[in-house]
């Protein structure tokens, strides 16, 4: 579930420096998110697909993700055409579908998918550990990057600890249902997970202090910013600028 499948590979995008990718992704996503024009949304969708093919990742993987992400847009498709008002597009029985509602739902769907695909292509292709260190070198607060790196490090451990508690409950014939007993069990299970993670935090902190930890994390893999990254970043930024200018056409 959380295995960073997109980060495996050695394509053009996988090998770029995470700093360049973070800046490129932020600019591109901002430009696509705030637009109101169909042309811009369509162009950014096309660009994101080009980016995705540059990663050489299997298509089925991303389709599965898109399915999950589109649950919110699906909700918009259910509500907006019926409730938006404005001029009528067509009437199905007693329901009238509004033209503007359909337009807005379509625009949002296009934008959301473009952004999700571009985030997979740009950020998903780096490991979170590398992104954390890149954010730190981009001068984000050190403590924030620390929380990012460490919570990422321990998410898997804590998830497994929680799974172990659930397994223990299942061995004792716990079957979840809509009942107060289920909610009490989940409440206690989560409470135990909290207690375990809190105690683990104390131990990890003590162990790190013993080894001379001074609030500074040293990355294991040194990402080097090369001239290729500069070229990549300038191409991405000029494409983003083009997207912004398209708004005014």
Is there binding between residue 38 and other proteins (CB under 8 A)? no
Four-residue CA torsion sign, 93, 98, 102, 105:
negative
Whether 135 and 149 have beta carbons less than 8 Å apart is answered as no
In the chain, how many H helices and how many E strands? Answer: 8, 2
The answer to whether residue 104 forms part of the interface with other proteins (CB under 8 A) is yes
Query: 25 or 43, CB closer to other proteins?
Result: 25
Does position 79 bind other proteins by CB under 8 A? yes
Q: How far is the CB of 25 from other proteins (least distance, A)?
A: 6
Choice between 131 and 232, CB closer to other proteins: 131
Which residues, other chains included, contact 52 with Cβ-Cβ below 8 Å and sequence gap of 6+?
62, 117, 118, 120, 121
- Single out the residue of 54, 102, 106, 119 in contact with other proteins (rule: CB under 8 A): 119
Of 148 and 243, the one with the shorter C-beta distance to other proteins is 148
Please tell me whether residue 26 binds other proteins under the rule CB under 8 A.
Answer: yes
Q: Does 167 interact with other proteins (rule: CB under 8 A)?
A: no
Instruction: Write out the binding residues for other proteins, residues 168-227 only, by CB under 8 A.
Output: 176-178, 180, 182-184, 186-188, 190-195, 197-198, 200-202, 204-205, 208, 215
- Nearer to other proteins by Cβ, of 212 and 215: the residue is 215
CA neighbor of 247 nearest in space, from 66, 37, 56, 95? 37
Residue 145 and residue 151: Cα distance in Å, rounded?
10
Quick check: 241 binds other proteins (CB under 8 A)? no
Residue with tokens 């909290």: 194
Size of the site for other proteins (CB under 8 A): 83
Contact range with other proteins by CB under 8 A, out of 9-17, 46-54, 121-129, 229-237: 121-129
- Three-point CA angle 66, 245, 113, nearest 5°: 5
Neighbours of 192 (CB within 10 A): 14
Report the nearest approach of other proteins to the CB of residue 225 (Å).
21
User: Could you say which of 24, 129, 148, 233 contacts other proteins (CB under 8 A)?
Assistant: 148
Q: Scanning residues 46 to 65, which ones bind other proteins (CB under 8 A)? A: 65
Q: Residues, the chain, total?
A: 249
Q: Does 133 bind other proteins (CB under 8 A)?
A: no
- What are the CA-CA distances from residue 190 to residues 180, 185, 204, 230 (Å)? 15, 9, 21, 46
Q: Give, in order, the Cα–Cα distances in Å from 141 to each of 77, 160, 208, 224.
A: 40, 30, 20, 21
Among the listed residues 72, 50, 52, 54, the one whose alpha carbon sits nearest the alpha carbon of residue 62:
52
80 makes contact with other proteins (CB under 8 A): yes
The yes or no reply on residue 25 touching other proteins (CB under 8 A) is: yes
Q: Which of 151, 230, 234, 238 binds other proteins (CB under 8 A)?
A: 151
């Amino acid at each position: 579930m959380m295995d960073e499948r997109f980060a495996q590979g050695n394509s053009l995008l996988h090998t770029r420096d995470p700093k360049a990718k973070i800046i490129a992704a932020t600019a591109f996503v901002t430009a696509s998110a705030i637009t109101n024009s169909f042309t811009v949304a369509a162009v950014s969708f096309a660009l994101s697909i080009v980016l995705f093919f540059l990663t050489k990742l299997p298509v089925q993987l991303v389709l599965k993700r898109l399915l999950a992400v589109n649950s919110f847009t699906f909700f918009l498709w259910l509500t907006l055409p019926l409730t938006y008002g404005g001029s009528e597009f067509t009437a199905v029985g007693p329901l009238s579908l509004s033209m503007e509602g359909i337009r807005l739902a379509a625009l949002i769907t296009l934008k959301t998918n473009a952004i999700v695909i571009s985030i997979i292509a740009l950020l998903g292709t780096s490991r979170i550990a590398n992104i954390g260190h890149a954010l730190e070198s981009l001068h984000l607060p050190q403590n924030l990057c620390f929380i990012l790196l460490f919570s990422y490090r321990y998410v898997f451990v804590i998830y497994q600890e929680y799974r172990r508690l659930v397994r223990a409950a299942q061995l004792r014939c716990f079957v979840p249902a809509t009942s107060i007993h289920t909610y009490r069990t989940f409440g206690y299970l989560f409470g135990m997970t909290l207690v375990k993670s809190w105690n683990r935090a104390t131990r990890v902190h003590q162990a790190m202090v013993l080894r001379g930890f001074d609030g500074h994390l040293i990355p294991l893999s040194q990402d080097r910013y090369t001239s290729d990254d500069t070229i990549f970043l300038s191409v991405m930024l000029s494409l983003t600028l083009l997207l912004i200018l398209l708004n005014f056409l």
